[in-house]
Amino acid sequence: MHRDHLDPADLIGLTQDRSGPLRVGVGGPVGSGKTALVAALCRALADELSVVVVTNDIYTTEDADFLRHNGVLADDRIRAVRTGCCPHTAIRDDITANLDEVEDLERRHDPDLVLVESGGDNLTATFSYGLIDRQIFVVDVAGGDKVPRKGGPGVTRSDLLVINKIDLADRVGADLDVMRRDSATQRGDLPTVLISLRAPDGVRPVVDWVRAGLHAHTH
Amino acid sequence: MTTHQIVPAALLTLADGRFPAGGHAHSGGVEVAVADGTVHDVASLYEFLHGRLHTTGLTQAALAAAAADAADPAGLDAHADARHPAAVQRRVSRAQGRAVLRAGRAAWPAPVLEALAVGCPDGPHHAVALGAVAAAAELSPGHAALAITYGTVTGPASAALRLLGLDPYGVHGVIARLGEDCERVAAQAAACICEPWADLPAATGPLSDLAAIRHEHWEVRLFAS
């Protein structure tokens, strides 16, 4: 095969054309509430939808255990992936281990929704769209109200930015208006929600976003 | 390898640590070796890698070369199984093989790769998949052997760097110094492929086999193997 230039037809098929359940990635820095958000989403949706979860905890199967112990999902609907000290690689540059687990769960359970929770990383760690369809980036007010202004691909490009723990804003001196304004500046038309998972039904704005995503994905 | 020949770019693609075949999550036994204290600095890393290259590395290289040469690489499946004494190693090898095959099918689509996917429904072994992908990329059995020996060195080296915080220049100095060894082992492997497959090299490291079994049962581990 020796040609000066490829025919455009040679590039067909290089982008995965995937039908199947909606896959949502949940990323964000350590301690921002990714696991709590996944648990809350499962609690809110598991009665009406078939949900499976893949977690990428860096150290142990702790995240998966957290979901099990909260009685959110059956054991066989949760998988933990080991990322060899590279949580960002496992969700972006080399998605192999996660794809293996996602596809196996899809074969076994034929779910409506797949949640992939990344290991805690930094503001630059985002998902490859070869692994997921949409991604949520979770930050929290305790990480400082300058986080949205700092930007990075998680803040600027994620499909939904979640600013969590707004109940702590007063205690840590975080200005929610600043965070809201900076997020809007960084993200243009992309949505941002400010929530507290501790509040009753605090996860509702994210549930609504997932439902809208499911509707768009299947219609 | 003659010095004036340009190496095919496909070999660089296949051997590149960024080739998305799941390698970053595997330590090649280094996670246990670090915990045991066997690997603790650049010099002990060199000893570990040197030993691995001439045992497991040779066996893997011979399988990869044979697969690159074979009309039906799936026929090597049982021979590869026999060369992974611990059950966990067989599982890990097949998981990595699936990953190589997935990436390879996207990079160099070929009927031989489709046939391998069908012939090994649980996933082909790593070396078998890599050899078949090398052939699909129009690389030689020797290239396939070199790619896998190089990975035998670079994967664990990278894991040691991450686990111990070793100096990356020192680690790559070790990798560079093992370059000729990689070529020698690959050439030795490529020279074996005419034999019946049962006679392919079967060198292993018994301590590594045992370490892999222990590692699987650790409560806390950062690497899949």
Exposure string over A166-201, b if 16+ CB within 10 A, otherwise e: beebeeeebeeeebbebbeebbeeeebbbbbbeeee
Contact B34, B163 (CB under 8 A): yes
Chain A environment of B23 (Cβ under 8 Å) = 94
**B94 and chain A: CB distance < 8 Å anywhere?**
no
Chain A environment of B24 (Cβ under 8 Å) = 83-84, 86, 89-90, 94
Q: Please report, for the domain that includes residue A123, its CATH number.
A: 3.40.50.300
Residue type for position A27: G
Gap between the Cα atoms of A119 and A58, Å rounded = 6
pTM over 0.95: no
Name the residue ranges covered by the structural domains of chain B. Answer: 30-87+140-216
Residue type for position A132: I
Q: What is the pLDDT of residues A50-67, one digit of tens each?
A: 999 999 875 556 666 777
Number of Cβ atoms within 10 Å of the Cβ of A74: 11
- DSSP 8-state assignment for residue B75: G
CA distances from residue B77 to A143, B116, B117, B201 in whole angstroms, order as listed: 51, 10, 12, 15
Question: 3-state class of B123 per DSSP?
Answer: coil
Q: What is the pLDDT of residues B93-120, one digit of tens each?
A: 999 999 999 999 999 999 999 999 999 9
How far apart are the CA of B34 and the nearest CA of chain A, in angstroms?
A: 14
Gap between the Cα atoms of A101 and B25, Å rounded = 14
Parent domain of A214 = 2-218
Closest residue on chain A to B108 (Cα) = A14
Split into its structural domains, chain A has a count of 1
Gap between the Cα atoms of A183 and A188, Å rounded = 8
User: Residue B93: CB partners within 8 Å, gap ≥ 6?
Assistant: B80, B84, B125, B126, B127
Chain B environment of A99 (Cβ under 8 Å) = 102
Q: What is the pLDDT of residues B62-83, one digit of tens each?
A: 999 999 999 999 999 999 999 9
ipTM, 2 decimals? 0.84
Q: Is A84–B99 a contact, with Cβ atoms under 8 angstroms apart?
A: no
Ranking A67-81, A134-148, B11-25 by mean pLDDT, the lowest is A67-81
Residue type for position A122: N
**B20 and chain A: CB distance < 8 Å anywhere?**
yes
Chain A environment of B162 (Cβ under 8 Å) = 84-86
